[in-house]
C-alpha cells in the first residue's frame, strides 16, 4: 500500500527533519507512529498526504506519487490534522459541500458516528467545542471510506468517554483494504487499538515492528524488586514496572508507554531481543 525509500526532509538547508527513511505500510492494520517532539511524525504524515515533498528519495502511496496530488489519490486518502479548522457552516451543509469529493462516502455512517460521539447533527461548527469539532472531522474521515486514513494526535481534546468511543469506532471501521496511521503522544489512548508500531528518533526510524513481535520477545511485568534481567524499569506505588526478556514465552500485556520510554533509553538491549530483522537505519518492512 505504501512504500517509502531513502526519503529525507528538510524545511531549511540546515534543519533536517527526517533522514534516510525506509518504511512499508500494509493494508488491514492500524499503525501507531510515536516519537518525541520534533522527531518528524507530522512531517511523515504530511508527506504521505502529499502536503510536503522529500528533498530526496521516493514515496509511493496507493500506486501514486503523493506530491502530484492526483484526483484519484486525493479521493482515496484523508488526513485529520492535530489542529482542526473547519468553516463556519452547519454540519449538514459541510457534508453537502465536501462529501462529493469522496466517491465512497457513507452518509448513513457519518450521522451514526455523530450520534455515537454525541454531536448534534444540526449544529453549526462555531457552536462546537474543539473536541466536538475534532469528532466531526473524525466521523467525516471514517465515512469517506478512503483506503488510507492519516491522523495527527486525534485524541487531543477528547474527554475520557470520547476516547473510548474513538477506539471502538476505529476498530469497527478497519477492513482488510484500509490502513490507519495514527501519530500520537497520548500512548495510553491507543495501546489497545494499534497492532503495528513505528518509532522515530533523531530524524530516523528507530524501530518498526508489530505488537505481536514485541510481545513475543519481551515480557512486561510488575515485580517486587529489581533483578539483573531487567532491560528497563520504572518505580511506581504499585511496584516496579519492568521490561524483561520473554524467555518463557509468557503472554503478558504490552505496556506501550513503558516500551516507548525504554526504547529511547535502552534501545540496543531491547532491539537486540526483538524477533525481527529490523535495525536502526535498515529498511523497515511492516
Q: Residues 252-276: pLDDT tens digits?
A: 989 999 999 998 887 777 877 775 4
**Rounded Cα distance, 54 and 50, in Å:** 10
What average pLDDT is seen over the chain? Answer: 89
Segment (H or E) for 108: helix 107-116
Query: In this predicted structure, what is the pLDDT of residue 284?
Result: 44
At residue 67, the 3 state secondary structure works out as helix
pLDDT tens across 108-145, in order?
999 999 999 999 999 999 899 999 999 999 999 999 99
**Rounded Cα distance, 229 and 20, in Å:** 34
DSSP-derived secondary structure letter, 195? S
Query: In this predicted structure, what is the pLDDT of residue 84?
Result: 86
CATH number for 2-202 (one of 3.40.50.300, 3.30.360.10, 3.40.50.970, 1.10.10.10): it is 3.40.50.300
**Alpha-carbon distance values, 208 to 76, 243, 258, 275, 283 (Å):** 25, 18, 16, 12, 9
Full-model pTM: 0.91
Could you identify the residue written with the cell 462555531?
126
Average pLDDT for 151-168: 92
CB distance 121 to 114 below 8 Å: yes
CB distance 42 to 190 below 8 Å: no
The contacts of residue 30 (CB under 8 Å, 6+ apart) are: 170, 171, 174, 180, 182, 193, 194, 195, 196
Could you tell me the residue ranges of all domains in the chain? 2-202, 212-286
- Is a pLDDT exceeding 90 seen at residue 242? yes
**Rounded Cα distance, 270 and 262, in Å:** 8
**Rounded Cα distance, 172 and 169, in Å:** 5
What pLDDT band is residue 277 in, cutting at 50, 70 and 90?
very low
Amino acid at each position: 500500500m505504501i512504500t517509502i525509500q531513502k526519503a529525507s526532509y528538510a524545511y531549511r538547508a540546515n534543519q533536517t527533519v527526517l533522514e534516510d527513511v525506509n518504511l512499508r505500510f500494509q493494508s488491514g492494520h492500524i499503525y501507531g507512529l510515536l516519537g518525541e517532539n520534533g522527531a518528524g511524525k507530522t512531517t511523515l504524515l504530511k508527506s504521505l498526504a502529499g502536503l510536503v515533498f522529500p528533498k530526496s528519495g521516493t514515496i509511493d502511496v496507493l500506486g501514486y506519487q503523493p506530491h502530484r496530488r492526483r484526483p484519484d489519490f486525493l479521493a482515496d486518502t484523508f488526513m485529520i490534522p492535530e489542529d482542526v479548522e473547519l468553516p463556519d457552516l452547519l454540519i449538514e451543509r459541510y457534508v453537502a459541500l465536501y462529501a462529493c469529493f469522496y466517491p465512497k462516502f457513507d452518509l448513513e455512517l457519518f450521522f451514526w458516528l455523530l450520534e455515537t460521539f454525541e454531536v448534534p447533527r444540526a449544529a453549526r461548527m462555531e457552536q462546537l467545542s474543539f473536541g466536538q469539532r475534532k469528532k466531526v472531522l473524525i466521523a467525516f474521515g471514517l465515512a469517506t471510506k478512503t483506503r488510507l486514513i492519516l491522523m495527527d494526535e486525534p485524541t487531543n481534546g477528547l474527554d475520557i468517554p470520547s476516547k473510548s468511543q474513538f477506539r471502538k469506532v476505529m476498530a469497527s471501521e478497519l477492513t482488510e483494504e484500509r490502513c490507519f496511521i495514527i501519530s500520537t503522544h497520548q500512548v495510553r489512548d491507543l495501546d489497545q487499538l494499534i497492532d503495528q508500531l513505528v518509532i522515530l528518533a533523531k530524524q530516523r526510524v528507530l524501530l518498526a515492528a508489530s505488537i505481536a513481535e514485541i510481545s513475543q520477545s519481551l515480557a512486561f511485568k510488575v515485580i517486587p524488586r529489581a533483578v539483573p534481567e531487567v532491560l528497563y524499569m520504572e518505580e511506581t506505588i504499585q511496584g516496579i514496572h519492568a521490561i524483561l526478556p520473554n524467555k518463557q514465552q509468557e503472554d503478558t500485556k504490552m505496556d506501550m508507554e513503558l516500551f516507548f520510554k525504554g526504547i529511547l533509553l535502552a534501545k540496543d538491549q531491547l532491539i537486540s531481543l526483538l524477533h525481527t530483522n529490523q535495525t536502526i537505519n535498515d529498511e523497515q518492512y511492516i
